[in-house]
Amino acid sequence: MAAVEFAVYNLLGVFHKYSAKEGDALTLNKTELSTFLLQELPCCYRDDAMVLLDLDGDGEVDFLEFIEFITEITTELQDMYIHTILNYKRIPKFGAQTLTEKAIVTLIKCLEDKNNVPEVLRSLDSNRKAGIDFKEFMAFVANFAVAVEFTFVNLPKPEEGD
C-alpha cells in the first residue's frame, strides 16, 4: 500500500501546488494547467489541453477532472509497458524526472510487486477473474485519491487573525 499512497499524495501535492497559484485555489485555470503540464508532464503539453481535460466545461480543471486525466495517461502508458514486455521481451525504462512522472511510474509498477497491492483491491475484482487488472487498479487509485482530496479540502482551516 505504501507505494500507492506515495503516488496519490504526490499527485495531490502537485495538483494543489499549481491550483493555489491564482484564482480558485481548488481548481486549475488555463494558465495553471499550462504551467502544470510544462513543468510536470511536458510530454502531455498541448495548447488545447483545457478543452480535453475540462470535462464539465466550466473553464477550470478540478481534482476529479485532473485524476481522470492522470488515470487515462497512466492506463495508456501501462498498456505500452506491457506491450513492450510481451513483444520485445524487455522491461521499458521510464525517464521519470518530475513528481508527477514518478507517481505515474510508481502506479504502473505497483501491480508487478504483489506486496504493493492492497488487500481491499481483491473485493474490487469486478469481473471475477481471480485477479485485478490495471483498469480496476486505477479505478481504486482514483477513488482513493478523491477520498483523500475530499478529506484534505474539508479540514478545519486555522483561525485567522491575532
Nearer to Ca ion, 60 or 101 (CB): 60
Closest alpha carbon to 36 in 110, 95, 101, 90: 101
Q: Which stretch binds Ca ion (CB under 5 A): 11-19, 46-54, 74-82, 125-133?
A: 46-54
**24: contact with Ca ion by CB under 5 A:** no
* DSSP SS3 for 146: helix
Q: Which listed residue (40, 54, 101, 149) binds Ca ion by CB under 5 A?
A: 54
Q: Which stretch binds Ca ion (CB under 5 A): 58-66, 101-109, 121-129, 148-156?
A: 58-66
Q: Which listed residue (20, 42, 51, 56) binds Ca ion by CB under 5 A?
A: 56
Contact 106, 3 (CB under 8 A): yes
What are the residue ranges of helices labelled H in 28-98? Answer: 30-40, 49-53, 63-88
Q: Which stretch binds Ca ion (CB under 5 A): 35-43, 57-65, 142-150, 152-160?
A: 57-65
Q: Which stretch binds Ca ion (CB under 5 A): 2-10, 39-47, 52-60, 150-158?
A: 52-60
Please compute Rg for the chain using Cα positions.
Answer: 17
Sites for Ca ion among residues 60-89 (CB under 5 A)? 60
**58: contact with Ca ion by CB under 5 A:** yes
Please state, in angstroms and rounded to a whole number, the distance separating the CA atoms of residues 60 and 55.
9
Q: How far is the CB of 62 from Ca ion (least distance, A)?
A: 5
Closest alpha carbon to 143 in 67, 59, 32: 67
Question: What's the N-to-C CA distance of the chain in angstroms?
Answer: 41
Residue ranges in contact with Ca ion by CB under 5 A: 54, 56, 58, 60
